[in-house]
Structure 1
Amino acid sequence: MLALSLEKSFPGFRLAVALEVQEGEVLALLGPSGSGKSTLLRLIAGLLSPDKGFVRFRDQDLTPLPPERRGVGFLFQDYALFPHLTVAENLAFGLVEARWPKAAREDRVEELLRRMELTPHARKRPQELSGGEQQRVALARALAPRPRLLLLDEPLGALDLRLREELLLFLRRTLRAEGITTLVVTHDQEEAFLLAGRVAVMREGRLVQVGRPEEVYTRPQDAWTARFLGHKNLLSPEESQALGLPPKPHLLPPQALGLGGPLRGKVEERLFFGARVGLWVRAKGVRLYLEAPAGPEEGTEVGLHLDPKRAVAFGG
């Protein structure tokens, strides 16, 4: 198990995080830019020294150890591949540094080339590869020495949308196959939810909420977390009361609202996304958002079903 309690201060910013990650677990650190996600990874890797605290892995205190002795694999957003080395040589670099025997080194490189679908590119230089291929090389190089702990800092952030979607499930399968305890930094909730078994939401150097993706999304800790996760139906006490809920702030997650029901409303905006339609509907003076496979046109009167049991109340 990875256990940490770390504090680090910079001018205008202070990080203080305590966290436990189970053996073989993939945990996503999710938060906006400037929340301290990458700083936390660098503290765990030993690239920064904490002002206070510790990092322990499998009952070993890593805090006093330099980065090269922590057994940690680190993948940066820019990949940092060696341009003068071939793909195979990039993969073997860490194994040479770790003094792996030549036969074991060659077997591991061949295994990763095959798993990452890079065998045809083994003799190419990084600059001859596409962005997606470079990403796979960087991931394979981080995995090559079989690190005890893997840290990924926005691993898909440098790719365009098409490549990100293509490689997201590939990365998910790879992390599960390797079974390495992994922390993934991302600001994208879809990446976090698909890659990780648990999500830790960060804000201004603090952990706001930690839990399984479904739990964090459907029952966010507060209104800030709900907004960050993309929820649109955040109701004021007055809006809640107008819809028949107690007069306090509420979140209506997607499961709480649907078409067809006694609550009457009018479609003000219809957004076509291809596989789904987004609808902004005004009901009892409250502007509500819902999605459906298909939906009525703008100006149409509709019935809505609101399930009060699925509404999430904030502020006690």
Structure 2
Amino acid sequence: MLELSLQKAFPGFRLALELSAKEGEVLALLGPSGSGKSTLLKLIAGLLTPDRGFVRFQGQDLTPLPPERRGVGFLFQDYALFPHLTVAENIAFGLVEARWSRKEQEARVRELLERMELSPHAGKRPQELSGGEQQRVALARALAPRPRLLLLDEPLGALDLRLREELLFFLRKTLRGEGITTLVVTHDQGEAFLLAHRVAILNKGRLVQVGPPEEVYARPQDAWTARFLGHKNLLSPEESQALGLPPRPHLLPQAALRLGGDQEGVVEERLFFGSRVGLWVRLRGVRVYLEALDPLPHLEEGARVPLGLDPSQAVPLEG
């Protein structure tokens, strides 16, 4: 198990949190820029020294150890591949440093070239590869020495949208197949939810919420978390009361609203996304959002629409 209790202060910023990850678990650190995600990874890797606290892994206190003795693999956002080395030599770099035998090096590099679908590129230099291929080389290099712990800092952040989608599932399969305890930093909730067994949400150096992706998304702790996760129907106490709920902040999830029912709303805005349509509707004086898969060409702005509202689905939020 990875156990963290860390404090680190910079001018205008202070990180202070406690967090743990189980053996073989993929834990995503999700939060906006400046929330402390990358700082936390650097503290775990030994690239920064905490002001107070500890990093423990498998019962061993890593805090006093230098980076090279922690058994931690680190994949940076820019990959940091060595341009003068071939793909195979880049992957083998950590094995050479760890003084693996030549036979062990060759076997491990061959294994990773096949697993990462890089065998045809073994003799190429990084600059001859696409962005996605470079990402796979960097991941293979991080995995090569069989690290006890793997840290990934925005591993897909430098890729365009098409490559990110293509490699996201490849990365998920690789991480789970290796079974290495992994912390993944990302600002993208879709990546975090797909990659991780659990998600930890950070804001301003503090741990806001941690849990399985489905649980965190469905039941955010407060209004800031709900908004960060992309929820739209965040109700003030007054809006909650207007919809028949107790006068406190609530999240009204999509499951609480449906087309067809005994209440009437007025469409204020219609958003066409291709496979689905989003509707902003005024209901009892409250502006709410719902989506439907049907193109619904007849529901234009200003149209009256019957709605069903299930208040029991509403999620109470902290202030």
Aligned-partner Cα distance in 2 for 1:121–1:254: 47
Give deviations 1:141-174, integer Å, cap 9, x for gaps.
Answer: 1001100000000000011111111111110000
**Counterpart position of 1:233:** 233
2:77 equivalent in structure 1: 77
Q: 1:197 — aligned with what?
A: 197
Q: Which moved more, 1:141-150 or 1:296-305?
A: 296-305
Paired residues of 2:31 and 2:187 also in contact (CA < 8 A): yes
Show the counterpart of 1:46. Answer: 46
Q: Distance in 1 between matches of 2:67 and 2:14?
A: 23
Counterpart for residue 301 of structure 1: 304
Please state whether the residue corresponding to 2:83 is helix, strand or coil: coil
Q: CA deviation at 1:308?
A: 1.4
Distance 1:265 1:227 in 2: 24
Cross-structure match for 1:168: 168
What's the CA shift string for 1:224-247, capped at 9, x where partnerless? Answer: 000000111011111111111112
Q: Report the CA distance between 1:298 and its aligned residue.
A: 2.6
- Equivalent-residue separation in structure 2 for 1:89 and 1:314 (angstroms): 52
Give the letter for the 2:160 counterpart: D
Q: Equivalents in 1 of 2:120, 2:303: separation in Å?
A: 56
Q: Distance in 2 between matches of 1:100 and 1:275?
A: 52
Mapped partners of 1:55, 1:8: distance in 2: 13
TM-score, L = length of structure 1:
0.98
Amino acid of the structure 2 residue aligned with 1:24: G
2:316 aligned partner:
313
> After TM superposition, what 4+ stretches of structure 1 lie above 6 angstroms from structure 2?
none
CA contact (8 A) 2:14 2:205 kept: yes
Instruction: Give 1:266 shift.
Output: 1.5
Asked if 1:149 corresponds to 2:152, the answer is no
RMSD (Å) for aligned C-alpha atoms: 1.0
Larger deviation, residues 226-235 vs 247-256: 247-256
Encode CA deviations 1:222-280: one digit per residue, 9 max, x unaligned: 00000000111011111111111112111112222222212211222111112221111
The answer to whether the 8 Å contact 2:258/2:309 transfers is yes
Aligned-residue sequence identity (percent) comes to 81
Partner amino acid for 2:221? Q
Deviation track 1:188-240 (CA, whole Å, cap 9, x = no partner) reads 10000000010000000000000011111111010000000011101111111
Secondary structure of 1:264's counterpart equals strand
After superposition, residues 1-316 of structure 1 pair within 5 angstroms as: 1-294=1-294, 295=296, 296-315=299-318
CA distance, structure 2, for counterparts of residue 213 and residue 244 of structure 1: 29
**Higher mean displacement: 87-96 or 267-276:** 267-276
Following superposition, the deviation at residue 300 of structure 1 comes to: 2.3
Structure 2 length as normaliser, TM-score? Answer: 0.97
Amino acid paired to 1:307: D
Q: Which amino acid aligns with 1:19?
A: L
Measured after TM superposition, the shift of residue 81 of structure 1 is 0.2
Between 138-147 and 279-288, the greater mean CA deviation after superposition: 279-288
- AA at the equivalent of 1:272: F
Give the Cα separation in 2 of the matches to 1:292 and 1:196.
28
Q: How much has 1:314 moved relative to structure 2? A: 2.2
Q: Distance in 2 between matches of 1:128 and 1:78?
A: 16
Give 3-state SS (helix, strand or coil) of 1:56's partner: strand
Deviation of the 1:121 alpha carbon:
0.8
* Post-superposition offset of 1:307: 1.6
